């Protein structure tokens, strides 16, 4: 199996591109401390070159992000440049300054859809983002709906909105939102200073089943997507992640394998969410596009070694003995690193939390007599029944 898998390759299938770090919001949970643009952001010709390089590398999807990408004066031209080369392009915006002109530009860029950040109902959203921003985002959603342009929503789940997800999906349906991406707010960036907003690992015991239920909810409303830091395994894995593909479960972080992040100054990371110099840690920055072309960076045998060179020995904590350790590889790298400073020890895992809580019926696995697993989860040997649990 290993020999077979080694014959397979990887390519930057999915890119998130921070066009600028400039932002007209100062969100309490911003992972990149967005606000002022970077001093050394790429020039327009450099960005055009980056777009061409992504297309040449057969990148399939690019999300234009920021900061606030609409503050970049040429976001639409860059989007069009990518679209014209066969790349599917969309954008994520905070919606604060959305105008009809933006929609015209989005059409010009041939964006497949626009996603707006909306973190729950008005009180919850405005508290973490900006007073008045909820209404502006809703207005932007309605504007897109009226104009027949697909609009999506991305929500960070935190303590203010976690209990209203079901009602919120219905609300989004009323505003003709086509898809809704749910991701966990992680104490990286500004959220490190607002940890009271962060959900706790054992919250996954009720949150994961709820998100899985939302994904299979037959009532009208947006399609629900669980982002890569929501999971993993147990009996909710398939409803949580199934999108009709043959593999309907988590197969590990794909940063530097099928996912790539580009910062507005040309820094390349396996995933844009990973820490960089602004977090005091640039170990995940592989190189800069001013120094080397994307192809050279991507194909450097030493690049993305933290993920491409994974071995099970790197895993820590419970992840080191988990049954899914070779497949899961510690879940979302950013989430694990933000919480434990170890990319390979991730407490934000449903399987782990269910086992710790003794919720063996939620595992979907027969863990009888698995002493190693029990010890790792802090259980006594007697807590694991002999008769099987699945």
Which CB, 318 or 324, lies closer to another protein?
Answer: 324
Regarding 253 and contact with another protein (CB under 8 A), the answer is yes
Are 357 and 377 a contacting pair, CB within 8 Å?
Answer: no
Cβ proximity to another protein, 293 vs 358, nearer residue: 293
Please tell me whether the peptide bond between 67 and the residue prior to it is cis, using omega within 30 degrees of 0: yes
Choose one: 160-168, 200-208, 306-314, 377-385; the region binding another protein (CB under 8 A). 306-314
With contact defined as beta carbons under 8 Å apart, do 62 and 92 qualify?
no
What number of other Cβ atoms are within 10 A of residue 245's Cβ? 8
251 binds another protein (CB under 8 A): yes
* Alpha-helical runs (H) found in the chain: 2-6, 44-56, 75-83, 100-109, 122-128, 133-146, 165-174, 204-215, 237-241, 294-299, 305-308, 325-328, 333-340, 350-356, 371-376
Among positions 163-192, residues that touch another protein (CB under 8 A) are 170-171, 173-181, 183, 186, 190
**In whole angstroms, how close is the CB of 45 to another protein at the nearest point?**
4
Distance in angstroms (rounded) separating the CA atoms of residues 214 and 168: 10
d(CA 156, CA 181): 9
Looking up tokens 């910062």 gives 263
User: What's the full length of the chain, in residues?
Assistant: 390
Does the protein bind another protein through residue 83 (CB under 8 A)? no
Candidates 92-100, 207-215, 353-361, 374-382: pick the segment binding another protein (CB under 8 A).
92-100
Stretch that binds another protein, among 97-105, 195-203, 353-361, 379-387 (CB under 8 A): 97-105
CB 11 within 8 A of CB 304: no
Name residues contacting another protein, limited to 20-49 (CB under 8 A).
20, 22, 24-26, 28, 31, 33, 35-37, 39-46, 49
Stretch that binds another protein, among 160-168, 225-233, 354-362, 372-380 (CB under 8 A): 225-233
Taking CB under 8 A as the criterion, the residue among 214, 255, 377, 384 binding another protein is: 255
Q: Which of 115, 197, 199, 207 binds another protein (CB under 8 A)?
A: 115
Which of the residues 229 through 248 are near another protein (CB under 8 A)? 229, 233, 235, 237-238, 241, 243-248
Host H or E run for residue 62: strand 61-65
Residue 232 · residue 250 · CB < 8 Å: yes
Q: Which residue has the tokens 């609409």?
A: 70
Shortest reach from residue 23's CB to another protein, in Å: 8
| 121 contributes a contact to another protein by CB under 8 A | no
Contacts of 101 (CB under 8 A, 6+ apart): none
**Given the complex with another protein, which of 98 and 318 has the nearer CB atom?**
98
Asked if 371 interacts with another protein (CB under 8 A), we say no
The site that binds another protein (CB under 8 A) totals a number of residues, namely 150
């Amino acid at each position: 199996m290993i020999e077979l898998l080694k014959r397979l390759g990887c390519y930057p299938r999915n890119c998130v591109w921070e066009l600028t770090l400039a932002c007209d919001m100062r969100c309490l949970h911003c992972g990149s401390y967005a606000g002022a643009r970077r001093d050394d952001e790429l020039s327009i010709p450099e960005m055009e070159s980056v777009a061409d390089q992504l297309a040449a590398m057969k990148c399939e999807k690019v999300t234009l992000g920021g900061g606030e990408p609409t503050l970049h004066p040429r976001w639409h031209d860059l989007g069009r440049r990518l679209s014209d080369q066969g790349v599917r392009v969309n954008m994520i915006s905070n919606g604060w300054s959305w105008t009809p002109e933006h929609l015209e530009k989005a059409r010009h860029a041939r964006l497949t859809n626009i996603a707006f950040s909306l973190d729950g109902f008005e009180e919850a959203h405005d508290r973490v983002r900006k007073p008045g921003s909820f209404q502006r985002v809703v207005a932007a959603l309605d504007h897109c709906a009226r104009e027949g342009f697909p609009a999506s929503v991305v929500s960070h789940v935190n303590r203010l909105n976690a209990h209203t997800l079901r009602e919120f999906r219905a609300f989004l349906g009323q505003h003709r939102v086509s898809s809704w991406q749910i991701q966990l707010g992680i104490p990286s960036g500004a959220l490190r200073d607002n940890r009271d907003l962060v959900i706790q690992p054992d919250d996954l015991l009720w949150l994961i089943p709820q998100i899985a239920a939302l994904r299979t909810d037959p009532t009208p409303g947006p399609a629900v997507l669980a982002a890569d830091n929501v999971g993993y395994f147990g009996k909710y894995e398939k409803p949580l992640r199934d999108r009709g593909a043959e593999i309907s479960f988590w197969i590990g972080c794909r940063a530097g394998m099928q996912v790539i992040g580009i910062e507005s100054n040309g820094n390349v990371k396996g995933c844009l969410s990973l820490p960089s110099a602004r977090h005091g840690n640039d170990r995940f920055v592989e190189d800069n596009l001013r120094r080397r072309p994307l192809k050279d960076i991507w194909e450097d045998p030493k690049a993305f070694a933290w993920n491409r060179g994974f071995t099970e020995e790197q895993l820590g904590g419970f992840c080191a003995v988990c049954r899914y350790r070779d497949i899961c590889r510690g879940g979302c790298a950013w989430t694990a690193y933000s919480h434990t400073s170890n990319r390979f020890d991730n407490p934000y895992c449903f399987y782990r939390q269910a086992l710790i809580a003794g919720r063996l019926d939620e595992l979907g696995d027969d863990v009888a007599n698995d002493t190693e697993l029990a010890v790792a989860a802090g259980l006594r040997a007697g807590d694991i029944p002999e008769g099987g649990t699945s």
